[in-house]
Amino acid sequence: MRMLTLAMACLLLAATQTGHAEDEFEMGLIGLDTSHVIAFTNIFNDPDHPDHVPGGRVVAAYQGGSDDLPTSYERVEGYTEQLVEDWGVELYDTIEELCEAVDVILLTSVDGRKHLEQAIPVYGAGLPVFIDKPLAASLEDAIRLVDLANEHGVPMYSGSSLRFRESVVEFDALDVGELRGADTTGPCAIDPTHPDLFWYGIHGVETLFTLMGPDCVEVTRVHTEDTDLVVGRWADGGVGTFRGIRNASAPFRGVKYGTDDVASATLGGGYKGQAEAIIEFFRTGESPVSDEEMLAVFAFMEAAEESKRRDGAPVRLDEVLEEARN
């Protein structure tokens, strides 16, 4: 378990004793270039929203943005205007100033390349931080983000909203006997600024890890223009696959293979489960996703990238983790 700094422990204790943790954390956003900032703000700030989650209110933000990423620079001004006009969110010129004005941070920049540099001042301020997907745009940065959070004693976690959808939670709990394997499918758009699966395939990969656990040891990947099929071998002998789909229908779906049954489900839903997990994380300082699993997800995706470079050869996760740490 990540150790809290004394200052952070005192903040959480004071919040609990005053009722603040039960009432409202003042939240700051970093990066206003994703639709997630609107979704989260509406869920947290609007008591009449059908998925309203009490416990926090978005009050301030650092705009951020990436000049070389169209999905960032084409959207950041519109989302910024909406947050200011609809919710009176106050904008700050630096992350350091933002951290002085809020209790907790949602690091929502759509560009995973920005996350390490943006998280460092948050860690320095000792504020708990949720980092939206992808945690990083490289396995090296993902490792550094986890290691620095531990060094500073700052609560941090990152995870796809898919992991917390009610449909996924229910499917994960469905009894099929001893689990022998699982398949997940979903959209897998690719952006040249990120390794292939890091950009959008991460949703389906995280769903696979939710079902199978963190102990994947080896990955093999088949890549075409329209499809990625990534096969993982787990330490217990289980086999899990992620099928990433482009240019075709791409619902989030899952299949579980057990000793007693085979089950499948469409894994729809929204952001309520993620928002609930965020509030609980801020209250307790305990991540709902272990450091081991956060890094295993990125090692899986990096091993898939390496398998593609090697024309589909198997790649071990410990190999890419060792290389990234050196």
Decide if 254 contacts 267 (C-beta within 8 A): yes
Written as six digits, the tokens of 297 are 């997800």
Bridge partners of 107?
A: 30, 131
pLDDT at 14: 46
Total structural domains within the chain: 2
Query: Which amino acid is present at 250?
Result: A
Residue 258 has pLDDT above 50, yes or no: yes
Give the mean pLDDT of the chain.
94
Instruction: Assess contact for 38 and 111: CB atoms under 8 A.
Output: no
Q: Which residues span the domain enclosing 306?
A: 162-269+299-325
Write the CATH number for 86: 3.40.50.720
Q: What pLDDT does residue 322 have?
A: 98
The answer on pLDDT for 94 being more than 60 is yes
Q: Do both 124 and 186 map to the same domain? A: no
pLDDT computed for residue 11 by the predictor = 54
**CATH number, position 233:** 3.30.360.10
CB 260 within 8 A of CB 180: no
For the segment 104-114, what is each residue's pLDDT rounded down to a tens digit? 999 999 999 99
Specify whether 122 is located in the same domain as 198. no
Mean pLDDT confidence for 246-251: 97
Q: Using the 3D structure, point to which of 133, 158, 183 is the last residue of a domain.
A: 158
Closest CA to 189 of 306, 107, 70, 274: 70
Query: What pTM was computed for the model?
Result: 0.92
Look at residue 292 and tell me if it is in a domain.
no
Q: Of 158, 181, 206, which residue is a domain's last?
A: 158
Each residue of 289-318: pLDDT tens digit? 999 999 999 999 999 999 999 999 999 999
